[in-house]
Each structure stands twice: as structure tokens, then as C-alpha cells.
Amino acid sequence: MGGWAIAVHGGAGVDPKLPEERQEEARRVLRRCLGVGAVALRAGRPAVDVVEMVVRELETDPVFNSGRGSALTQEGTVEMEASIMDGRGRRCGAVSGLTTVKNPVSLARLVMDRSPHSYLAFHGAEDFAREQGVEVVDNSYFITDENVRMLKLAKEANSIVYDYRVPVPSADTCSSSAGLVGATTDGGMQMNGLPISIYAPETVGCVAVDSGGWCAAATSTGGLMNKMSGRIGDSPLIGSGTYACGACAVSCTGEGEAIIRSTLARDVAALMEYKGLGLQEAVDYALKERLDEGKAGLIAVSRNGEVANGFNTVGMFRGCATEDGFMDVAIW
């Protein structure tokens, strides 16, 4: 075994014009969350506990699109989703359509540990949360003033927002704001075969391998800014946005519809299991050959303590740490 290792991400598809102060804010959060995970792994905590712990931290901080600070639906509400998977026995839990659960990833963990099911959604998931005594809050807790303003701009532009953390411009400069794309945008991006302006991939995720060589993964998101109510992305779908097995653990981010079609997370594991590829080789192959022009990124760890990442977007918020003391946080 190569020792424990951990990786985190805060979403792929970073706006190249993202202000430096926002970049540093993101790096600060990623470093803090990596530190939390590293301390837990050093203390001998199992990987599945660590990925839940780290994603809870990311959900609580409004810097990224999960938990507090989640993207808003067309109706101006928050609908969150998350999943978790333990490579030991390939146990998993997932939730969608959450509107009051403070930490969606922990409810996904409870679905895995305390229910006969793997996936609960909307009213069923909310009912289960109350049965389990999970902390719930009013939907307004998740909504930030900045996101309300950005949703307004997105509606005016009839657009999905690419990076809604870019500071909202004044009214007289709205038409040229970074991150909003109007009907005249070039590039022809499509989602699920239909033309859209551009997507908002700011999912958070964590993968870890513990000192025993067991891998786990967790992913959480608020989805797309200005999305249709009821839309479900890749994040809660085991095999698409999240996967863990005896060989590796993977968490994805990006264009959810493309990730779903390619079962991207599971494909990385399959390439290792069936084709004998190394971790980074499998990541690179999956991103190049399986996305059909979709845009995405992912992080992964192997049971041997290797860490890998990849993305075909401009950037991806990411970081990793290993037992030998290495730690790195990057965006571009």
C-alpha cells in the first residue's frame, strides 16, 4: 500500500476572468478542507468517514455550489443533491431534490447506512431526514444575496449561468457581464443534444483512500443556476458522478448530462479493472474518449495511494494531499 491520500474539487469550468480575490478565496477553502481530511486520515479514520466530513465542510461554506450557496432554480429556490460510496462492499447512498437538509451528503450517508435503499428523492428524502433527526433549516438558509442577483440577470438574459460567483456588475454593465451568455453567444454548446447557452459546473467532491487501502467518494451540488425545478444531474447518480470500489474512488464535475451518458466515474474504474490501465491513464482515457464533446473534470485516488485528476475545461478547482506530506491546491 502507498499510504493514505485525499483529493477534493470545487467544480470544473472556471471562468478565465474570475477575479483574483475569488480565486484566492477558493484556494483557502480547499486548503482548509484538505487539512480537515488529512488530520482525520492521519488519525486512522476510514475513508468513507473522511469524504463525508470534508464534503460537509464544503457544503457549509458558501464559496462553492453545494449546501449553503447552492445555485437557484427558475423559481428562486434551492434543490440539492448528493451521493456517497464506500469501496468496501460498494455500498452507496444518494439523495436528490432536498430543500431543507443542511448537509445533503450526510443524508446520503444515512440512506446508505440506515435504509434498505440506495437512493431517495424529494419528499421521500425529506421525510427520511426528519425520521433520522437530521438537522434541517429553512430554504432561505441556502440562498445568498449574490445568487438572487445572479438569477435575476440569468432570467433577463434567458441563460444558464456559467460561473455565478463572478461579482454581479452594476445595472449599466449587465449586458456584458462575465458569466452570462445571451442568445448571440457563439460556440454551439449543447446539453443532452439541445442547444443551451452554457452550463454552471460547480459541484464539490472528495475522494480518499485510507491507510488500510479502502477507497471512498462523495459528491454534492446545488445543480445549475436557473435550472428547471426537478432537474437531476450526475452528482447523485452512482457510476456517473460518484463511484468507489476496491480499485479506486472517483468524483466528477461538469456537464451533468454528458457525465450521465458516459457513466464517467464507473468508466475510470472499469478501465483499471478490465483494461489494466493505471489511475492517471484511466482518467485521461475516460475524459478523452467517453464524453462525446461534453465538458467535465474529475478527481480520483487508487487503493495504492495514487492521486489523479483531469479536466477538459479551462480550469478546475482542486487539491490533494498524501501521507508523505505533499499538498497542492490549483485552479488552472
Catalytic residue check, 203: yes
**Distances, alpha carbon 198 to alpha carbons 66, 79, 133, 168, in Å:** 19, 20, 38, 17
Catalytic residue among 60, 73, 99, 203: 203
DSSP 116-152: S-SEEEHHHHHHHHHHTT--B--GGGG--HHHHHHHH
**CA distances (Å), 91 to each of 87, 112, 142, in order?**
7, 7, 29
Ranges of H-type helices in 215-255: none
The residues, ordered by sequence, that sit 6+ positions from 160 with a Cβ below 8 Å of its Cβ are 154, 196, 197, 198, 199, 200, 224, 225, 226, 227
E strands, the chain, are 5-12, 80-86, 91-98, 119-121, 190-191, 194-195, 204-209, 215-221, 242-244, 248-254, 296-302, 307-311, 316-322, 327-330
Give me 166's grid cell. 463572478
Cα–Cα distance list, 144 to 21, 98, 109 (Å): 18, 17, 26
Write out the binding residues.
231-234, 253-256
CA distance 54 to 66: 12
- Three cell numbers, residue 61: 461554506
Q: How far apart are CA 225 and CA 246, in angstroms?
A: 35
Q: How far apart are CA 217 and CA 219, in angstroms?
A: 7
Integer Cα distance of 112 and 76 in angstroms: 30
Extract the annotated binding site for substrate.
231-234, 253-256
Active-site residues, by number, are: 203
